[in-house]
């Protein structure tokens, strides 16, 4: 069943994204602590939605999860694996 607090979580995400967009220049320095924190936050965000999607998946659907690799570089593929393994 879906998380009853999902609406509140989505509102928090919307507010955080608005804050990031307003100050997007700090994301351009990948060595900054803020940018690294944002990257980790983005990974956590994707893991949250991946996990929620997995919970809603039909348990009778025994298909092995697939990775999207076409057009992705090695780093993007590793990110997918990291998210899938939670």
20 touches 27 (CB < 8 A): yes
pLDDT of residue 65: 64
- The size of the chain, in residues, is 86
Among 76, 78, 32, 45, which Cα is nearest to 24's?
Answer: 32
42 touches 35 (CB < 8 A): no
Mean pLDDT over each residue of the chain, to the nearest integer: 78
The residue extents of the domains of the chain are 6-85
Question: pLDDT-based confidence at 61, cuts 50/70/90?
Answer: low
Between these two residues, 36 and 55, which has the higher pLDDT value?
A: 36
Q: What is the pTM of this model?
A: 0.45
């Amino acid at each position: 069943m879906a998380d009853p607090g999902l609406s509140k979580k989505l509102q928090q995400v919307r507010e955080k994204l608005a804050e990031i967009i307003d100050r997007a220049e700090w994301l351009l320095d990948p060595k900054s602590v803020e940018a690294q924190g944002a990257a980790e936050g983005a990974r956590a965000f994707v893991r949250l939605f991946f996990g929620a999607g997995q919970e809603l998946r039909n348990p009778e659907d025994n298909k092995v999860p697939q990775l999207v690799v076409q057009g992705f570089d090695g780093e993007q593929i590793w990110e997918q694996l990291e998210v899938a393994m939670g």
